[in-house]
Each structure stands twice: as structure tokens, then as C-alpha cells.
Amino acid sequence: MSYRWHKTEPLRIFVGYDQKEPLAYRVLCHSIWARATVPVSITPLVRSNLHMIHTRERGPTESTEFAFTRFLVPYLCGYEGHAVFMDCDFLCQTDVAGLWDYITTGHSAAVTVCKHDYVPKTQTKFLGQQQTVYPRKNWSSLMVFDNTRCRKLHPLYVNTATGLELHRFQWLLDSEIAALPLEWNHLVQEYPYDPGAKMVHFTLGGPWFQEYQDVDYADAWRRERDEIAMELSCDLASTR
């Protein structure tokens, strides 16, 4: 399938990076590159690299290092163009260029997200982290920003706003939030298995943790991981 791509610059993707999940980040990046049919630029949001602009202390409910840095994406893009943010615990099973059709049709949207409406099944998630329950939960785990419309997301605001204010999108009018089909952010173990899921999200914990070796899509994730190992092995062999 071909998508309406009329840009000269790459599709900008920012991925939340956490020191506890480096392998998850690398496998996600590979799964994106391997299927993309358009130029893609992937930038890890490493908290320590953002210390000059991200100054808030990490709170007890922040289960990842990128809980708030995700909201700096429009600022990092100079409030120009579009950009995608996603958590590192995703696996891409499709061509990310498919997101571009939603970008070009959602003209009035500041942000386009999967509008989940669910209550988590568990009280904890990976590594025993507390499962926080709030309206619009997981909407912010995959966001397509129209950066020009997100100027309120300045570092000063991101550093001082409450977590609920940011993650519940209280910095926007409801009319400025467009919807992606849920297949772009399929919540593993929260939703029934869907072979057509485009992006699967190991929100409770992925197969890079011992406790989650048998979750849905774990085999697909391991195949992606093994492809990376095979490519590296071939590269090393060719240099000998």
C-alpha cells in the first residue's frame, strides 16, 4: 500500500527511553525501520540528555523516565511540522507511513491519539510499578503532534503542570484532539488478541522481562529481536 507522502524531510519519531528497557527501545526501532516505506528519523528521549530544559524532580508515580519528557516533543521540533511520540514498549507491525494519512486528514487537530476507554485489569505492572488509574489513560503513549498547535507545551509549563493535567490533555480543547483507530495502539493483555494490530503496546510489561515471556505477541517481539542479532552477526562476520 502506498501512502500520501509529499514531504522532503523524514517522518520524525521520538521514542521514550528508559534505562530499565534498553532492549525494548532497540527492538522497537528495528521494527519501525524494517517496515517503513518513507524516510524515518528516530530520536530517543533520554532524560539525562534533557536536563537543561527538563528540570522537574521525578515523582513516585512516574513508572518511566519519559513520563513527562514526551510533552517536550513540539518544543524540540521548534514548534514546526509534525512529529510522532511513542513509548519504548511498542512493537511496530506495519508501515508507519500509514500515520501520515491521519496527519493530513486531521487538519484541525493539535494532537491525534488512540482514545482508549478502559479500566486496567491489574493494580501493578512491570517491575511491580503501581498501576495509576485516570481518565484518558494511555492516550499519551502514542501521540501525533501538529507542533504548530502545541505551543503551550513549553519547558516551563511541562516542568510545572501536574501529571494529570498533561496526560489528560487539559492543555487542549477536546475538539483539538483527533482519534486514531485503536489498532495503532493495541494494549497487550488489556485487549483481546488482534492479528491485525498495527502497533502493539506491552503496557503491562513486555517479553524482555522474565515475568512476561508468554504475553500476546511475545513471539513476534522475539522474532524481531532475533533478526537484529542475525544482522549484527552477519556484519561482524563480514569484517573478519
How large is the angle between the packed helices 218-238 and 22-33, nearest 10 degrees?
Answer: 80
Kindly report whether the global pTM for this prediction surpasses the value 0.85. yes
Q: Where would I find the H helices in 115-217?
A: 155-160, 163-167
Q: Is the predicted pLDDT of residue 23 greater than 50, yes or no?
A: yes
CA distances to 143, 169, 184, 233 from 158, in Å: 16, 12, 26, 42
**CATH class of residue range 11-238:** alpha beta
Q: 107-130 burial, b for 16+ CB within 10 Å, e for fewer?
A: eebbbbbbebeeebeeeebbeeee
User: Rounded to whole angstroms, how far apart are CA atoms 41 and 52?
Assistant: 23
Q: Where does the chain show beta strands of DSSP type E?
A: 11-16, 40-45, 82-86, 90-92, 111-114, 142-146, 177-180, 186-187, 199-201
- The pLDDT tens digits of the residues spanning 156-188 come to 999 999 999 999 999 999 999 999 999 999 999
- The pLDDT tens digits of the residues spanning 58-102 come to 876 667 999 999 999 999 999 999 999 999 999 999 999 998 877
Residue with cell 524515518: 40
Q: Are 112 and 152 in contact (CB under 8 A)?
A: no
